[in-house]
Every structure is written in C-alpha cells, then in structure tokens.
Structure 1
Amino acid sequence: MKFLFVGTNPENTGGATHFVALAQALIESGHEVHVVTCAGGLIAQSLAQSSASLHYAAFRNAFDARGCRDVLAVAKQVRPHWLVGNFGKEYWPLVIIGRWLRVPVALFRHRTPPMKRLSAYGIPRLATRFFAVSEYARQAYLDRGIPDALVHVLYNPVNLSKCLPDPARCCAIRHALGISDDAIVLGYAGRMHGGKGIFTLIEAATAAMAEEPRLHCLWLGDGPEAAALRARAAAGPKADRHHFLGWIHDVGSYYSAMSVLAFPSIASETFGRVSIEAQAAGVPVIASQVGGVPETLHAGVTGLLLPPGDVESWRNAITMMCNEDFRRPMAEAARPYVQERFSTKVIAEAFVRKLTS
C-alpha cells in the first residue's frame, strides 16, 4: 500500500513522534511511504535515513493556500492509496485534497481539548478514518457527540530496536554520573512543569531516599519549571542523588540506566509514550492513574498505578520498587508486554486492518 503522510509542524511534540513512529512502522512492514514535512524539523530529521520519500511544505494555518498547493502537487505526483495527517491545521486541507483526488484520508487526534465547533462536527465525519490514540481519548470524543462508529483507536507504536536493555550502556551512563553499579535509579523523562507531577515525584523520591541509601533520581527533560525543580532538589537533604541532564534528544539509550521509570502526571494525559518505551527496555513503570496512562502498562505485572499527586502513595511505591525481588518480575514482564501490544509490526498491521475493514 502507498501512503502520503502530511505533517509540517517543526516542533518536537507527541504528535510528531507518533507521526515518525507510524511512518517507520509502515516502512518496516513493506509499505511505500511518502512524507510532506517541514525542512529541518524533527520529522524530516528523524526520517532522513529511512526509505521514506521526503517532500517539503509548510502550513501557517488551515487556510494557507501555498501549503495546500504544495501538498496537492505531491499528491497528484504520488497518487497514494491513503493520505494520513496528524496535526489540526492540516485536517481541512487534507479532507479537501482527498475529496478532490478521490483519495481516502486517515486523521489522528492526539489531544482531548475540543476542536472548534465546525471542525469538531465536520472532521470526524468527513475523514474516511478518524483515530484516537487511546480508549480514554476515544471516550472523550464520544462524550462530545461524535458517533461511536466514526472513532477508531490506534495506539502509539514503539520501535523495539531503539529501546533495548543494554548493560554496557547502563554502566557507562551511571559511571559518567558517579552512580554506582548497584544503585537503584528512578528515572523521569518529559516536560518539566507542574501538571506533569514533578514536584510530587521529587518530594516522594527524596523521602524514599531517607530509607534507601542506594536510591538515585535521573531527571531527563526541560520546561518552564525546570529551574524551580532543580532549586528544590538543591535545597533538599539528598541533593547529590538527584541528577539533572536537561533535554535529551535520544532518550531511548538512557532507559537502560534506569531501574524504574516514574510517570507522575497530575494533569490528564492522552496516552504516555515514555511508559511503553521504558517497558520496551525492560524497565518497570510507576504511573499516575489518570487519562490514558493506565492503557500503557499492565498494572501489577509490568508496573504500578498510583493516585496522582499523593506523595505518600508515591513514596511507598518507590520504596517497594527498591526491593529487587519485587521489581525483577515486573522488569522481566515489561518487554514482552510491549512487544505484544505496541511493537511497530503489531501497530502497522492493526492500522492497515482498520483502514481496509
């Protein structure tokens, strides 16, 4: 099957990461993939070494005539079996181009806040397939009146080859940070702002450090409250056991250095890619029971679900995870769980099946 993906957002967002992962999944499954994207952006950089054919355009908004013209030209040249879009400003242009060329259109919605009234009504009904990335998100759209039959679910795929348990890499990262090989490393990867639950996590982790001298925290990411988080760690009694690395483009190689991943969001999350990436690397997860996050792990088997914002519950869970006999079975179950539900092969097959059914 031949696909034309259209995604001209230059930013590093969850939608962009999904766009890249799905395109790569289809390529690995033997499909032909063409991509219209922004030159120099994350999508172009990530797909540059793949067999995807890259074309360049930009959309300032849904009414950008130049962007529509450029995508229409590529679509006429490629003649895809499906047009695929991930970003709101390209929904209407793709629907119109698809109707013009009689090419079916698959659109993904990664956020649960409502679209504008016309788009909220028209896009799910005019797209050939409209996808949510979790059952939680799907229910949010149904609650707003979108008919049940029009909203499909396709989870984010994860490339298992990029998230591997790697003992050598684990040792190298830990030694560079002055962390001993027998340490227990609690990792966080993501944006640093209050809605992500970072202050709950640092309070709970610091309290757990008082009970477990081998416990360290590895913080990956940046954001508007990164400085406040660093200041809180520096003012605490265990400052030397909080390690801040800032923004890391290739987070996959750092999962091996973690014993456990924390996903402590307080605000609702549509899904939670870092949870499945960590499990793919054999790392169990402790996560907030909020939004679509529970769909990313097998509670009690590959990780734990906790009440968001509850410092005492998080402290207790972190302490439990410091027990190797408790943690090891979850670590062993994590990668097979991801392979069965979220691997690129599984998601690519599910996508094609939903398009053709």
Structure 2
Amino acid sequence: MKILAALPTFRPENYAGKVGGGEISNRILLQGLAERGHSVTVCAISSRNHPQSKVVVHASEGRHCGKILNKILGLARYRALIRREVRKVKPDVILCGTKGVEAAVKEGKKLRVPVGIFIRAFENLNDCKSQGSIFNKLKATLEVLVYGDYGPDVLEKLDFLLPNSRFMEKCILERFPDKRTKVVCPPIMEAEIQPLKISKNIKSVYMVGASEHKGAHIFSTLADRFPDVIFGVIGDASIPPGEVKIEGNIQRYGWTDVVKLLSDEADLFVVPSVCEEAFGRVAIEGLIAGCTLLASDIGGLPEAVNFESELLVPPDDEGEWVARIADVIEKPDILYTAVRRAQSNVPKYFRENQVNELESFLLSYV
C-alpha cells in the first residue's frame, strides 16, 4: 500500500525541542506502517533527518536562508509540495493532519484517491476564522491563507475521518452523521504495566499539567484542604526540566518521565480537567505506573479509565473532589478493584494494536 501523509511538522524521535502529542502519535503510526512494508511518504513544512526510519520525508522549509526566511519559504511552498508529491507518488490513500487538508483533498479528487484526516482536537470541527479573540481570529485567517481551509467545509469533502477516541467520534458524527469514521487512539509504546501500588496511607497526590483547564485551581484547593499530604504537579512550564520547586505542601516539577515519577512517588494520581480533552493519555500513563486514580468525568477521560464510574468525579466540582479525596485517604483500598479493571484495558492502546487498527482500515480502500 502506498500512503502519502500531509503533516505540517514531522520530527524524529531524537528531536530535542518541544513536540506536540499529535505529531508524536502521527510519527509512531506512520513508522509502524512503514515497518510493515507499506510505502509511506510524508510532506511536511518542518522536518529533520529521521535516522533508521523507513518513512520518506520531504520538507518545504528552506535550509540556507536564515531561520525566519526558511520558515516563510516553507509555508509558501507547502501546498505546492503536496501537489508535486501526490502526482509523483500516486498513493493509494492520503492522510492529513489538522492543516494541509485543502491541498490534499484537491489533489486526491483529481486522481480519485481517498483522503482522510487524523482528528485529535476540535480545530477541524470549528470555523477556522470565527473562534476566540481578535488575535486568534487574525492568526486563523493567516493560517487559512497559508495552508488553505481546514474547517468543517473541507471535512465534508473527505472520504473518512480518524478520531482519536470514541468521545471525538461521537462529536464528529453529531456534525457529520454520514461520514465514515474509524477510531485510532494515540499509540502508547508497549510498557510493562506496574502492579497496583498498595498504600496503607495516602501521603502524596500527583497531577500532570499546571494550567487552569487541567484543573490547577481544584488541585490547589485540595492541597489547602489536606495540608498533611504532599501534592505534586508534573510538567509545570515555569520549572526547568528535571527540577522541582517546593511551595508549602505543593511540589512543582518541570517536564520529566511521567510514568517513572508517578511510579516512584505517587500514592494517588488525579486528573481534574475541566475542559473536554479529546483523549486521556495521562490517565493511561497513571494506570501503567500502577497508581490509584481519580479523573474528571469529561471528554475522553472516562474512556481512558474504561468507563469505571468509581474512578470518575464531576468536573469542576471542588466540593465533590474534596469529598472523594477524603474517602480515599480514609480507606485507600476503596478504588483498587476498579483500577485493576481499568489497567486490564490498557494494552489496547499499545502501539502495535493501534497500528493494526489503522492498517486494517486503510487496506479496505485498496
């Protein structure tokens, strides 16, 4: 099978800069397909050398004109790169990320090649130019000029959509009830699932992320209400990677190995998100680390914990969060059975299983 992917950024595993979760997921899935013998070509604006990768990557970004000018050239050339490679490769199927969809659809229709998109958030379901502040609207307008439209009007023209959770699939089908969809979750590299940690006393509670939409205000309230418990925040952008800052009973960590830190330090892991995140990757990481866990009943989080109602808390309800933490502190084993059931569901998210899901779906078009 010949696959062409239009993905604005596609950087290797050894890239040292900041890389989004969607980009990492795309890379893992496409590398998995290439390792199975499929021909995979990626059109990107920004890329780097991919050592030992079987994926062929073409980047529109320049190399010899200075960082800013290289980026401008890359943006200007991106749609032309997609057109050129589609005609050259003659793929059996075209895959897209959030942006670059319009050019891929146009070329796919000309060659009668099916075109689909990975949907990992809500950008593609909203009008590109009508959301948020004046600054965000201006930014979106400029992005449309560069990439082409990537909102609902273009999604209507696609042959299939690849949401990253059942929650996102539900949102898509409410908007596009007749579209063909296939859930392909963000792949998690195979790892040994740690046995559930048995804690006679809850001495430490951890979360990942320090932003309001991750529930930082709820976490602060919990820290105030339970002063004898250590509360750890992993991934605080204000803290350098690998470092920790202590503020009373709150410990703030820069970016680090989440699973290892949770496995080593956390008696209880919480995901108090207040917004609808498409997929609950951090909840799965907590389960892999062997942590007792509570998560907000919102977005893709219930799916990540196998819809175990005992592990779910109403979102943005500080009183309920305080009550549930108090229950676990009083009786630490109250959630063990539900956590073990949720852990048993984790392997379905592992890399090989998600590559299987994507491969079998794409082969149905060949």
State the TM bucket, normalised to the shorter chain: 0.7 to 0.9
Distance in 1 (alpha carbons) for counterparts of 2:206 and 2:53: 30
Residues 353 and 187 of structure 1, relative CA distance in 2, 3 Å threshold: same
Q: CA deviation at 1:277?
A: 2.7
Return the match for 1:186 from 197, 205, 208: 205
Residues 335 and 74 of structure 1, relative CA distance in 2, 3 Å threshold: farther
Residues 119 and 328 of structure 1, relative CA distance in 2, 3 Å threshold: closer
| Equivalent residues in 2 for 1:207-356, closer than 5 Å | 207-210=225-228, 215-223=229-237, 234=247, 239=248, 241-248=249-256, 250-257=257-264, 258-300=266-308, 304-322=311-329, 323-340=331-348, 342-355=349-362, 356=364
Note if 1:17 corresponds to 2:17: no
- Decide whether the 8 Å contact of 1:163 with 1:253 is kept in 2: no
Residues 39 and 306 of structure 1, relative CA distance in 2, 3 Å threshold: same
Note if 1:197 corresponds to 2:215: yes
One-letter amino acid of the structure 2 residue matched with residue 115 of structure 1: D
- Decide whether the 8 Å contact of 1:280 with 1:334 is kept in 2: no
Distance in 2 (alpha carbons) for counterparts of 1:109 and 1:20: 14
Q: CA deviation at 1:207?
A: 1.9
Residues 183 and 264 of structure 1, relative CA distance in 2, 3 Å threshold: closer
Percent identical among aligned pairs is 22
Q: CA RMSD in A?
A: 3.8
Distance in 2 (alpha carbons) for counterparts of 1:80 and 1:338: 33
Q: CA deviation at 1:25?
A: 4.2
Structure 2, unmatched stretches of 5+, are 11-17, 62-69, 130-148
Distance in 1 (alpha carbons) for counterparts of 2:259 and 2:182: 25
Residues 305 and 92 of structure 1, relative CA distance in 2, 3 Å threshold: same
Return the match for 1:53 from 44, 51, 56: 56
Distance in 2 (alpha carbons) for counterparts of 1:285 and 1:33: 38
One-letter amino acid of the structure 2 residue matched with residue 6 of structure 1: A
Structure 1, unmatched stretches of 5+, are 171-179
Distance in 2 (alpha carbons) for counterparts of 1:345 and 1:279: 19
Partner of 2:6: 6
The Cα offsets for residues 273-304 of structure 1, whole Å up to 9 and x where unpaired, read as 22223323333431111223222112448x61
Greater share of helix residues, 1 or 2? 1
One-letter amino acid of the structure 2 residue matched with residue 196 of structure 1: K
Partner of 2:92: 81
Partner of 1:138: 169
- Decide whether the 8 Å contact of 1:8 with 1:57 is kept in 2: no
Distance in 1 (alpha carbons) for counterparts of 2:195 and 2:54: 27
Q: TM-score, structure 1 length as denominator?
A: 0.74
Residues 304 and 208 of structure 1, relative CA distance in 2, 3 Å threshold: farther
Distance in 2 (alpha carbons) for counterparts of 1:52 and 1:252: 29
Partner of 1:174: none
Instruction: Figure out how many residues of one structure are paired with residues of the other and give that number.
Output: 321
Return the match for 2:127 from 100, 106, 115: 115
One-letter amino acid of the structure 2 residue matched with residue 218 of structure 1: G
Q: Which has the higher contact order (CA 8 A, sep 6+)?
A: 1
Note if 1:127 corresponds to 2:158: yes
Which secondary structure does the structure 1 equivalent of 2:169 belong to? helix
| Equivalent residues in 2 for 1:93-104, closer than 5 Å | 93-104=103-114
